[in-house]
Amino acid sequence: MEVKEKKVGLENEEYIINMGPQHPSTHGVLRLVVALKGEIVQRVEPHLGYIHRGIEKMCENLTYQQIIHLTDRMDYLSAHINNEAVCLTVEKALEIEVPERVKYIRTIMSELTRIQSHQLFWATFGMDLGGLTCFFYGLRDREKVLDIFEESCGGRMIVSYNTPGGLMNDIHPNFQNRVKEFLKYFRGVIHEYDDLLTGNVIFQERSKGMGVMTKEEAIAWGLTGPTGRASGFSCDIRKHYPYSAYDRVTFREILFDEGDVFHRYLARMEEMRESMNIIDQLIDNIPEGPYTAKMKPVIKLPEGEYFQSVETARGELGVYIVSDGNKNPFRVKFRSPNFVNLAPLNLMARGSKIADLVAIGGSLDLIIPDIDR
């Protein structure tokens, strides 16, 4: 007969729990090994690789047009922006100037992508903190953006609308009206987001002063996007290295000094408003012209190394392509914002409660497929 081993809990023994890979608040298949002492988090260790699909390696056997479709699957909430990053890199390598129309449409699409991504962030962040109603309000408005995508791109989430040199097809004739309608609608309801969550006392108590990253720490850890900007790190690629039509619009870079959960949340709320302003400036001025530059059917990049970064909804996405002159890239590397933003989780969450760990994790707005790639 098997003798049961009797374990005696020691006073100082750490209580280790596995959060994930299937856990409601890890937003996918992230696995956090959390060492607890009572309710207090002693140590957090993220374990990755549960959704690793080898996208970078797969890119080496695909043509540049095909790579686009893989990038959708990295950060699926910024699908359009990921596409754009690869296209910009390829265009940079080929030294192609894309038509003005393409630049405008790409910028509008990117900002719509940013809005819907932040809407989903708001929805899930509210749910992480226990406010279940947020989820439905967030998704209600997000549907409207997805409908716009569906009309022009065919896809709703995984749009694959870009192609090296331009766009897959022209925008739907209804596009401008739909976008304007959406902006009008969303300006009318965005105050509901603040009414439901931002102003709530419990929410503010839960989020203020939690998981603080100072500006120095944010720079040292390479935090980008709203996460970095909430700490005061001015890192908006759209502002500092404008691409597409971002040099033609005026917008505010949202910066806060506090760097806590609440201000990361606030940064995203403000970014939605700024994104609407950007779209406002472009939507009526989309120039006429072709929707794609003349491209050869087989794209071969000249030998060399190319890099381009863009601002996704979560931070800086860098695309690094090494070409040996073939139709396939020799090596592709994505600098994904989520991977970098996840790194200081231990630093932020140490010493806080389990509930805070969930809030901090939520405020980083992690997309796990983007971490593993």
Partner 1 sequence: MEFSIYDFSSFTAWIDQSLRASMSPGLALAIEMLIIGVVILIFYAIVGLFLVYAERKVCALMQNRLGPNRVGPGGMFQTIADLVKLLFVELVPIKNADKILFSLAPYIVIIASFMAMGALPFAKGLHAIDLNIGVFYLMAVSSMGVVGVLLAGWASNNKYSLIGAMRSGAQIVSYELSVGMSLVTIVVLAGTMQLSEIVQAQQYGWFIFRGHIPAVIAFIIYIVASTAETNRGPFDLAEAESELTAGFHTEYSGIRFAFFFLAEYINMFIVAAIATTVFFGGWMPFNVYGWEGFNKVMNLIPPFIWFLGKTGALIFLIMWFKWTFPRLRIDQLLTLEWKYFLPINIVNVLIMALIVLLGWHW
Positions that interact with partner 1 (CB under 8 A): 15, 17, 23-25, 36, 38-39, 126-133, 135-137, 140, 196-197, 200, 202-203, 205-206, 353-356, 358
Smallest distance from partner 1 to CB 141, Å:
11
User: Which stretches does DSSP call E strand in the chain?
Assistant: 15-19, 31-37, 40-47, 162-163, 166-167, 304-311, 316-323, 331-335
Q: Kindly state the tokens that stand for 58.
A: 């797969």
Three-state DSSP class for 321? strand
Q: Are 67 and 59 in contact (CB under 8 A)?
A: yes
Q: In angstroms, what is the minimal distance from the CB of 62 to partner 1?
A: 38
Burial of residue 97, with CB atoms counted within 10 A of its CB: 0-12 exposed, 13-18 middle, 19 or more buried: exposed
Cβ nearer to partner 1, comparing 137 with 186: 137
Select 297 or 351, whichever has its Cβ closest to partner 1.
351
Q: Environment class of residue 259 by beta-carbon count within 10 Å: exposed (0-12), middle (13-18) or buried (19+)?
A: buried
Burial of 247 (0-12, 13-18, 19+ CB in 10 A): exposed
Q: Identify which of 332, 366, 351 has the alpha carbon closest to the alpha carbon of residue 42.
A: 351
Provide the minimum distance between the beta carbon of 126 and partner 1 in the complex, in angstroms, as a whole number.
Answer: 7
Q: How far is the CB of 197 from partner 1 (least distance, A)?
A: 7
Element of type H or E holding 361? helix 354-363
Beta carbon nearer to partner 1, 133 or 326: 133
Q: Would you give the DSSP letter of residue 316?
A: E
What is the nearest approach in angstroms of partner 1 to the Cβ of residue 178?
21
| 51 closest CA partner among 322, 339, 331, 333 | 339
Tokens 């190394």 label which residue?
Answer: 305
| Amino acid of residue 222 | G
Best CA proximity match to 165, nearest among 326, 288, 63, 294? 294
CB of 130 to partner 1, least distance (A): 3
Least distance between partner 1 and beta carbon 136 (Å): 4
Q: Smallest gap, in angstroms, from Cβ of residue 25 to partner 1?
A: 4
How far is C-alpha 184 from the geometric centre of its chain's CA atoms? Answer: 24
CA distance 325 to 320: 15
d(CA 123, CA 125): 6
**With respect to partner 1, which residue has the nearer C-beta, 18 or 234?**
18
